[in-house]
């Protein structure tokens, strides 16, 4: 009998993780239905983010043997050549490689199973355990190592000892998680945000369905908060300042007085001179009425505060000629 899968989305909790199924009353008349509820699922990261937690170790071991029981597997290491690289670049490269692997698996009829283990020491790098299609292990390794996009950042090889590989990937476990387990733990605190052991959705779903894994709530790495983002005041803050040498401050120098001409020079009378001649016979108001100016404008022209237009100059010359 077919089954229907329904989901309940709760925006206030910002997600829809996979949880234990429950029977829904939405489609009882058609077929048995399952509802994925976003309950209070536990987080499996270590309390102080200082290593791989106990639930993550258990999930890693169960998932690795789950892939081994299905068939062959490939171990992929993703690590940049230089230390101290931005962890965003590692995470983006890991997403590209996982997309490539899932596409290869889907084309060869293999379920999209992969396990990702993130290690922050000495710098952030990732390990993948990938389910390989039967008869295409060599092709999968060749497609990964021969890719010009991935370059020399990855190393892929076939898995021959799955228990030994899981013990190797558990070396950054917390002291509480490593207690009582056959693990050679690396001493120290290995802090990192988010889950250390991640499973593909298909692998997580099938493991929960078979009862070898319990539902859990995923924890993602935090993004940069606003106080960590530093804005520069100028685009050229990092450039050297090319300043001109300081100019010497000179002493103030007294301006020399321009002496008048030593010899008298005769010039032809201009319009202002002719107006001054008319002032001996008439007032400024009367002169203004004759040449078309006001009394104040005649005074301003007399003291050379403002000049006169061509029309006024022509009128003054006509009056002087008539006199």
Cα dihedral value 306, 308, 309, 310, nearest 10: -150
3-class secondary structure, 149: coil
- CA-nearest of 32, 60, 249, 33 to 171 is 60
Using CA atoms, how far apart are residues 319 and 286, in angstroms rounded to an integer? 13
List pLDDT tens digits, range 170-192. Answer: 999 999 999 989 889 999 999 99
**Residue found under tokens 């290491």:** 77
What predicted TM-score, i.e. pTM, was given to this entire model?
0.58
More reliable by pLDDT, 277 or 125: 125
CA atoms within 13 A on the CB side of 195: 20
Strand order from edge to edge, sheet including 197-199: 154-158, 73-78, 125-131, 114-119, 197-199
**Contact between residue 63 and residue 34 where contact means Cβ atoms under 8 Å apart:** no
Residue 143: predicted pLDDT: 92
3-class secondary structure, 126: strand
3-class secondary structure, 78: strand
**DSSP states of 253-284:** -PPPPPPPPSS-------HHHHHHHHTTTS-H
Q: How many CB atoms lie within 10 A of CB 315?
A: 17
Residue 146: predicted pLDDT: 86
Using CA atoms, how far apart are residues 226 and 161, in angstroms rounded to an integer? 46
Q: What's the pLDDT band for 293 if we cut at 50, 70, 90?
A: confident
List pLDDT tens digits, range 1-34. Answer: 444 444 443 434 443 333 333 333 433 444 444 4
């Amino acid at each position: 009998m077919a089954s229907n899968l329904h989901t309940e989305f709760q925006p206030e909790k910002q997600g829809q993780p996979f949880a234990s199924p429950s029977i829904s009353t939405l489609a009882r008349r058609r077929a048995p239905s399952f509802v994925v509820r976003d309950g209070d699922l536990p987080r499996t990261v270590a309390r102080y983010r200082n290593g791989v937690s106990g639930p993550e170790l258990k999930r890693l071991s169960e998932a690795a043997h789950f892939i081994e029981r299905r068939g062959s597997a490939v171990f992929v290491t993703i690590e940049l050549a230089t230390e101290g690289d931005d962890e965003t670049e590692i995470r983006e490269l890991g997403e590209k490689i996982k997309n490539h692997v899932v596409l290869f698996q889907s084309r060869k009829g293999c379920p999209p199973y992969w396990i990702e283990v993130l290690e922050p020491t000495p710098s952030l790098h990732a390990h993948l355990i990938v389910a390989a299609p039967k008869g295409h292990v060599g092709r999968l390794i060749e497609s990964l190592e021969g890719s010009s996009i991935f370059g020399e950042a990855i190393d892929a090889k076939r898995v021959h000892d799955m228990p030994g590989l899981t013990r190797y990937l558990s070396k950054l476990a917390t002291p509480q998680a490593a207690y009582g387990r056959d693990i050679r733990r690396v001493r120290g605190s290995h802090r990192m945000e988010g889950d250390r052991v991640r499973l593909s959705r298909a692998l997580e779903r099938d493991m929960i369905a078979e009862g070898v894994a319990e539902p859990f709530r995923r924890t993602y790495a935090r993004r940069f908060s606003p106080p960590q983002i530093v804005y520069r005041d100028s685009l050229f803050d990092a450039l050297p300042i090319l300043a001109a040498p300081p100019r010497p401050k000179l002493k103030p120098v007294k301006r020399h007085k321009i002496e008048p001409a030593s010899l008298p020079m005769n010039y032809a009378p201009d319009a202002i001179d002719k107006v001054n001649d008319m002032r001996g016979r008439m007032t400024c108001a009367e002169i203004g009425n004759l040449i078309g100016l006001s009394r104040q404008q005649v005074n301003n022209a007399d003291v050379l505060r403002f000049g006169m237009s061509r029309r006024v100059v022509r009128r003054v010359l006509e009056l002087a000629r008539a006199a």
